Amino acid sequence: MSLKKNKIRNNSMIYTIRNVMNIIFPLVTFKYASGIISASGVGAASYASAIIGYFSLIAQLGINTYALAEGAKLRSNKEKFDEFCNIMFTINVISTVFAYLVLVFFLINVKDLAKYRELILIYSVTIGLTTIGMEWIFVVEERFIYITARSIIIQAISLLLLVIFVKQKEDVAVYVGINVLANSGSYILNYFYLKRNKKIKLISIKKCAKYVKPILVIWVANVASMIYINADTIVIGSILGSVEVGIYSAASKIVKAVCVPITSICTVSGPDLASAIGKKDRNETTELTKTVITFASFLIFPCIIGIWLFGDLAILLLSGKEFLGGFTAEKILSLDIFLSPLNGFFVSQILIPAQREKKATKALVLAAIGNIILDILLIPKFFINGAAIATVFSESIVLIICLPEINKIIDLKRISSKVWNAMFCSLSIVFVYEGIKYFVENRIIQLIFTIVIGGIIYCFSYWRINCKLSK
């Protein structure tokens, strides 16, 4: 088990480097672009991205999640794994063609999308690139060094292109195109790598038939998840306009960026967890989960506190004064730093490999329904803060419904103490901040001292309390 813990730690570090770059790039580009194309341009781009998110969901079905869970069980058998890859690719190509047909129909017949048509078409390129990229294969085979190096190179090129070509307010389409390259350009490299090493090809539809039902069950779960992730942006855009979407996006992008390294910790354990669950080894599954939750919790609570203390500074530095109206929404959404990565981990890495996808789907569908209802009720009254409340409420529903089922697969009592320890120790950061604030007025200096002094005290107190409990 210690070897697996070390592997999870090492893979997490490598994958986190990649995901930290995924944090830095959108924040830097958002800061640069928001100063040029304004909140309205950023809002239009975010709106188009949210629309394409739904069509991407049609194209991808539940393939990525299902393939990660089932592929991990087959990876030791090359022949079976290669055949499985071809089956997943064939199903994905069919669903992608269907998604493009539906997209064309909507663009022709829905008048409200007319002014976003160009941006939506540019973003739609990501649908095809994601299909040919088959990123899940590289995660199953734990090729995290390749994933990281490839992503950094593509993002560096994209950043250079952004500085060269986005020069005026009308360059929204160029900004969107560069985002497509940054987010999906690496899938082109994936395709050529897989074509050379795995000979990915289309196969008979008959061989795909038995996989369709579980994939569709997971797809329903993904649809529900996408609804409560993107519904806030859609409803804000419809009721309040693109400027408010831009302000809300500034807040949510920061929270989502903070979630990325935590999510990466939860992702890298997937193959080992799927294998342990497949063997019905509850003890190994619990220990692996405990390792993941320990690493994740260690980051989660300081990050939440950091948003509450310095979220306004983050918005100011990364987006500008005109986006500061999103600070309250950002504080509310910070609770998602706890809820979102854990929900994703429990659903994708535990429930689905354990073939409890129906339970996960039920939780996500109920969360989506609750999110839409609350968005409609709260946004007209509380504006973007209402959307933030609805999102946090939806994530809470998922966790509450899933925990009893999770407890049947792992022993939650052996894990919960790690969460409480991190939560308790992170309060020391608040006391450090209050002391520093008494002597220092400059917000950036406050931030630096809080990170250094608060971080040291937090790490020391967390280490001491865990040492006492381990005796």
**Full pLDDT tens readout for the chain, 471 residues:** 555 556 666 676 777 777 777 767 776 777 777 778 877 888 888 889 888 988 998 898 888 888 888 887 787 788 888 899 999 999 999 999 999 999 999 999 988 888 899 999 999 999 999 999 998 898 888 788 888 888 889 988 988 998 888 888 888 899 999 999 988 888 998 988 888 888 788 888 888 888 888 888 888 887 787 777 778 888 898 888 878 888 998 899 889 888 877 887 777 777 778 778 877 888 888 888 888 888 889 999 999 999 999 999 999 988 888 899 999 999 999 999 999 999 988 988 888 888 888 888 888 889 889 999 999 999 999 999 999 999 999 899 999 999 999 988 888 888 888 888 889 999 999 999 999 998 898 999 999 999 999 999 999 988 887 665 554
Query: What tokens were used for 190?
Result: 């994936």
Query: What tokens were used for 163?
Result: 């500085």
3-class SS of residue 327: helix
Neighbours of 280 (CB within 10 A): 10
pLDDT at 2: 53
Nearest to 275 by CA among 64, 80, 74: 74
Nearest to 94 by CA among 143, 50, 64, 58: 58
Question: Which element (helix H / strand E) includes 59?
Answer: helix 2-60
Contact 313, 443 (CB under 8 A): yes
Q: Please provide the DSSP assignment of 347-381 as one string.
A: IIIIITTTT-HHHHHHHHHHHHHHHHHHHHHHHHH
pLDDT at 277: 83
Q: What is the pTM of this model?
A: 0.76
User: What is the separation, in whole angstroms, between the first and last Cα of the chain?
Assistant: 19
CA–CA gap between residue 418 and residue 423 (Å, rounded)? 9
Give residues with Cβ within 8 angstroms of 34, minimum separation 6: 42, 246, 250, 319, 320, 323
